[in-house]
């Protein structure tokens, strides 16, 4: 159920475009306020030994509000990705009806979230958190953001033709009427609420409904069919899914990536790498892999890294007469490798849901990422050739200016790892100071970061992180429903029985297969939130090191995320490179095959993942 629609920023939607501007401003201001709260809290604690007790509660509340306003802006700009592979096979008229149904469902889900978040705010009025802050301060901003989302979703639905609108309403109504009639006439034969939830989830997912809304709808189907759970539980679980100080590292690290691009640090770093190794055999491809390694050590968002690197190197590949499809395929494969490089947001999410040390996961991923990067570089050199000179000479910047960008980049990487090693600050606090560092370097050292570009970076970060955290919130609501049905316990028993008879190796292979498949079907964060807590306890019972297993899960998810034909990450890379996905399938399969071999080595040689954490005391 694809809800792809023109951006509501266009002049034909003046009221909604004005609301979008308000949504952007609110999301960015809340994010900036969050940054200020975290930085001031750390400085007061470190310099004056005066911790601010309410800082964590305020920061979490601000993040929830910023996430929902950011998610609303992402919806208005039609940035929500869904699985379009199957719906594209339908006839044109059928696609339009399914798309209209999807747009209607998004509107209904957004309104349900808004209504119940507001209701939850009203119900918690007078209650306070541990630090004494009112609980409704979390739910009212969440409800307001979801209300903006509802308006944008309704606008998207109403932009369709009257015929499609009527067809979407009738088709959705007929499905609901069919279920109600079946439940009234033969209630004993109606499938269980869990079965209906799974059916609804996969139909809407493969019908193109954005991932976050498909997850939320699955949880709502269970709640509606059961009829015993109040709607406020749904809103409460969505808020609980992102109401955690640890997850604040996600928008901050994403913001670092956008600031790097805005302050010119990324262009300088890539240009320096091109000067250093660009003229060797397979040089441009080597530069691409090395750029992804370095960028991923600074920014937590893989798609932000892909955009930053791809926007420079894909045009360079075209100018040097390389196959752009192969270049995009390598870019996507490098993003898979970069899933194990800290501070990847998927490592943060897995650490949060599986209760693992995030610093430990960061350190555990370094050697596996190095193995995959080395494999991609060696393959690039073997299969590559010396790049042909570009038709037109590019103006070349002074080497001294390029080195300043490299030094600034490595300074940021050093600050991140020094913070973890010394225990000076948590992952969230380190990410906040990384933002401050990027702002200072861009505005004072490079003098390229203006107030306007910095504000735009905050808006971009709030939108991108809102997109990610809305999926996290929706996945948490589904994980709650799965827990009610005792699915984790059942999965654990099945996995333990299989492994008991066949050995730990079978459990490891099954886990890899599950994460590759679900990483392809779902967005990466959702796959980890649902399956991480299911599989991690079983791995611990079988004696597998949790940090090692966590790295295996994240890399397997990354392979699925960029695997054709369903991988949403591959579609994103193709959009950034302006290359049809058909041109990337053959080369990406070769790269993914190599990465799968690396993953098997990582899985069955645990010391690759455990050596550094043990050396650093994790």
Top pLDDT among 276 and 591 is at 591
Cα 319–chain centre separation: 32
Residue 46 — very low, low, confident or very high, per pLDDT cuts 50/70/90? confident
**For 230-252, b where at least 16 C-beta lie within 10 A, e where not — what string?**
ebbbbbbbbbebbbbbebbbbbb
Residues 555/508, Cβ–Cβ less than 8 Å: no
What pLDDT does 172 receive?
94
The model's pLDDT over 557-589, given as tens digits with 9 standing for 90+, comes to 999 988 888 787 888 888 788 888 888 888 999
Residue 393 — very low, low, confident or very high, per pLDDT cuts 50/70/90? very low
For 210-226, what is the mean pLDDT? Answer: 92
DSSP 396: -
Q: What contacts 453, CB < 8 A, 6 or more positions away?
A: 262, 263
For 344-352, what is the mean pLDDT? Answer: 89
Q: At what angle do helices 451-484 and 211-226 cross, to 10 degrees?
A: 30
What pLDDT does 494 receive?
81
The model's pLDDT over 588-597, given as tens digits with 9 standing for 90+, comes to 999 999 999 9
The model's pLDDT over 294-329, given as tens digits with 9 standing for 90+, comes to 888 777 677 777 877 887 788 877 877 778 888 899
Per-residue pLDDT at 10 exceeds 90: no
Residues 330/589, Cβ–Cβ less than 8 Å: no
Q: What contacts 608, CB < 8 A, 6 or more positions away?
A: 367, 368, 371, 601, 602
Q: What is the CA radius of gyration of the chain?
A: 24
What pLDDT does 13 receive?
58
Residue 3 — very low, low, confident or very high, per pLDDT cuts 50/70/90? very low
**Count of Cβ atoms closer than 10 Å to residue 180 Cβ:** 10
Per-residue pLDDT at 394 exceeds 70: no
Query: Where is average pLDDT lowest: 76-85, 138-147, 471-480?
Result: 76-85
For the chain, percent of residues with pLDDT exceeding 90? 38
């Amino acid at each position: 159920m694809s809800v792809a629609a023109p951006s509501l920023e266009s002049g034909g939607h003046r009221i909604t475009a004005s609301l979008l501007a308000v949504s952007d401003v609110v999301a960015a201001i809340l994010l900036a306020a969050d940054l200020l709260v975290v930085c001031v809290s750390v400085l007061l604690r470190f310099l004056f030994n005066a911790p601010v007790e309410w800082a964590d509660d305020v920061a979490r509340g601000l993040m929830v509000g910023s996430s929902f306003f950011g998610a609303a802006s992402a919806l208005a700009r039609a940035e929500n990705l869904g699985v379009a592979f199957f719906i594209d096979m339908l006839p044109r008229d059928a696609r339009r009806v399914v798309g209209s149904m999807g747009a209607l469902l998004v509107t209904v889900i957004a309104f349900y979230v808004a209504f119940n978040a507001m209701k939850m705010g009203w119900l918690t009025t007078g209650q306070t958190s541990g630090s004494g802050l009112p609980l409704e301060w979390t739910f009212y901003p969440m409800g307001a953001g979801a209300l903006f989302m509802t308006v944008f979703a309704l606008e998207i639905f109403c932009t369709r033709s009257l015929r499609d609108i009527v067809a979407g309403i009738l088709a959705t109504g007929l499905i609901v009427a069919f279920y109600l009639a079946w439940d009234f006439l033969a209630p004993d034969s109606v499938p269980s609420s869990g079965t209906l939830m799974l059916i609804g989830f996969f139909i809407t997912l493969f019908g193109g409904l954005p991932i976050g809304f498909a997850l939320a709808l699955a949880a709502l189907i269970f709640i509606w069919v059961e009829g015993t759970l109040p709607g406020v539980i749904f809103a409460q679980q969505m808020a609980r899914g992102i109401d955690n100080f640890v997850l604040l590292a996600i928008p901050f690290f994403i913001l670092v990536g956008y600031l790097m691009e805005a302050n010119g640090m990324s262009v300088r770093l890539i240009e320096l790498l091109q000067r250093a190794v660009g003229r060797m055999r397979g040089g441009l491809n080597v530069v691409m892999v090395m750029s992804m390694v370095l960028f991923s050590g600074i920014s937590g968002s893989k798609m932000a890294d892909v955009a930053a690197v791809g926007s420079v190197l894909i045009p360079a590949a075209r100018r040097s007469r390389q196959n752009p499809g192969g270049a995009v395929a390598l870019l996507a494969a490098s993003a898979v490798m970069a899933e194990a490089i800290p501070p990847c947001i998927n490592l943060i999410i897995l650490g949060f849901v599986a209760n693992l040390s995030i610093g430990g996961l960061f350190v555990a991923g370094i050697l596996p990422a190095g193995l995959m990067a080395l494999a991609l570089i060696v393959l690039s050199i073997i299969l590559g050739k010396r790049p042909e000179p570009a038709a037109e000479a590019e103006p070349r910047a002074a080497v001294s200016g390029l080195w300043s960008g490299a030094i600034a980049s490595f300074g940021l990487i050093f600050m991140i790892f020094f913070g973890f090693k010394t225990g000076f600050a948590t992952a969230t606090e380190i990410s906040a100071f990384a933002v401050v560092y990027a702002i200072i370097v861009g505005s004072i050292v490079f003098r390229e970061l203006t107030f306007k570009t910095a504000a735009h970076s905050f808006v971009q970060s709030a939108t991108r992180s809102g997109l990610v955290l809305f999926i996290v919130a929706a996945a948490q609501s589904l994980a709650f429903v799965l827990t009610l049905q005792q699915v984790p316990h059942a999965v654990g028993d099945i996995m333990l029985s299989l492994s008991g008879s066949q050995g730990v190796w079978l459990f490891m292979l099954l886990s890899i297969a599950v994460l590759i498949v679900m990483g392809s079907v779902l967005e990466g964060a959702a796959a980890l939130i649902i399956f991480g807590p299911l599989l991690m306890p079983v791995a611990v019972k079988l004696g597998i090191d949790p940090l090692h297993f966590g790295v295996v899960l994240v890399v397997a998810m990354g392979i699925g995320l960029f695997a054709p034909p369903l991988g949403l990450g591959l579609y994103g890379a193709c959009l950034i490179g302006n290359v049809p996905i058909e041109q990337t399938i053959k080369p990406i399969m070769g790269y993914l095959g190599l990465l799968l071999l690396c993953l098997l080595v990582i899985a069955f040689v645990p010391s690759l993942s455990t050596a550094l954490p043990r050396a650093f005391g994790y």
